[in-house]
């Protein structure tokens, strides 16, 4: 299937590492020009180089989207963006016994993406075509006691995406949420390997993956997806083929909610 992303420009926030890196690579493989975002000078460089080595098109951009002023440095880039993937987000270690980082978790996981969306929307509406894809988490349906503020902030995203879809109705712009479960980023793999080793559950990724599924987050496929696996779903949601998907929260969790 031709996703008709060739010639489109895609901005993926936080794409210098982890899940965003995988998404950026998939979009570039589909022919999009990818803007790789980082927070510090040099952060996007390796991902940009990897994409170009594979024959794709990419450029790096540095912006601290934690503030209005920092996000404003994306204004020029935003004018050419057709696909915005609001991938960036992170837990801050909040709990019910310590409220110190709750506001920051809201800023990181909600407001940062709103700032970038506001910058990109005018050009999308003018062109009559655009895709805004947010990255959520299955944890909004299955939170745990750690990072309470993070899960509370992420829980706002389905409503945020729905109201955005209503805001741009009939414009050719769509807004959707992709909600994964556990993702086998290098950082997650390293963490799972350490924990599995402490439980004497083997020293290979297949063994550690089995341990994680049994002890941390089970799902019905009994495998943990890679960032590229998530990127393929995001690419479809961003495609012309998905033009009638709008305001949706799409679970990409292997059935973890029912496991």
The pTM of the full predicted model, rounded to 2 decimals, is 0.95
Instruction: Express each pLDDT in 46-81 by its tens digit.
Output: 999 999 999 999 999 999 999 999 999 999 999 999
pLDDT digit string, tens, across residues 216-252 = 889 999 999 999 999 999 999 999 999 999 999 999 9
The dihedral formed by the CA atoms of 158, 164, 167 and 168, expressed in degrees to the nearest 10: -120
Question: Which residues have CB under 8 Å from 95's CB, separation 6+?
Answer: 145, 146, 147, 148
Separation in Å, CA 38 to CA 71, 133, 149, 189 = 12, 18, 24, 22
Task: Specify the residue for token string 């460089």.
Answer: 45
Which position has the higher pLDDT, 1 or 65?
A: 65
CA distance 184 to 193: 11
- Indicate whether 37 pLDDT > 90: yes
Three-class secondary structure of residue 46 per DSSP = helix
Average of per-residue pLDDT across 179-198: 93
Task: Encode pLDDT of 176-186 as tens digits.
Answer: 999 999 999 99
């Amino acid at each position: 299937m031709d996703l008709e992303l060739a010639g489109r420009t895609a901005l993926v926030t936080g794409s210098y590492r982890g899940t965003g890196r995988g998404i950026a690579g998939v979009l570039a493989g589909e022919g999009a020009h990818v803007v790789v975002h980082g927070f510090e000078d040099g952060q996007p460089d390796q991902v940009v180089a990897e994409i170009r080595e594979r024959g794709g098109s990419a450029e790096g951009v540095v912006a601290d989207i934690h503030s209005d002023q920092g996000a404003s440095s994306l204004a020029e880039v935003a004018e050419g963006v057709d696909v915005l993937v609001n991938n960036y987000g992170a837990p801050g270690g909040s709990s019910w016994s310590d409220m110190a980082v709750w506001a920051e978790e809201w800023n990181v996981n909600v407001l940062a993406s709103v700032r970038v969306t506001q910058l990109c929307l005018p050009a999308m509406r003018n062109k009559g075509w655009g895709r805004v894809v947010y990255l959520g988490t299955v944890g909004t349906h299955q939170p745990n006691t750690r990072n309470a503020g993070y899960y509370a902030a992420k829980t706002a995203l389905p409503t945020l995406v729905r109201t955005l879809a209503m805001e741009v109705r009939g414009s050719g712009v769509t807004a959707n949420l992709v909600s994964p479960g556990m993702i086998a980023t290098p950082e997650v793999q390293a963490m799972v390997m350490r924990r599995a080793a402490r439980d004497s559950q083997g020293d290979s990724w297949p063994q550690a993956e089995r341990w994680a599924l049994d002890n941390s987050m089970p799902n019905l496929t009994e495998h943990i997806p890679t960032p590229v696996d998530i990127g393929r779903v995001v690419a479809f949601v961003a495609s012309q083929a998905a033009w009638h998907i709008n305001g949706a929260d799409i679970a990409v969790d292997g059935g973890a909610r029912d496991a």
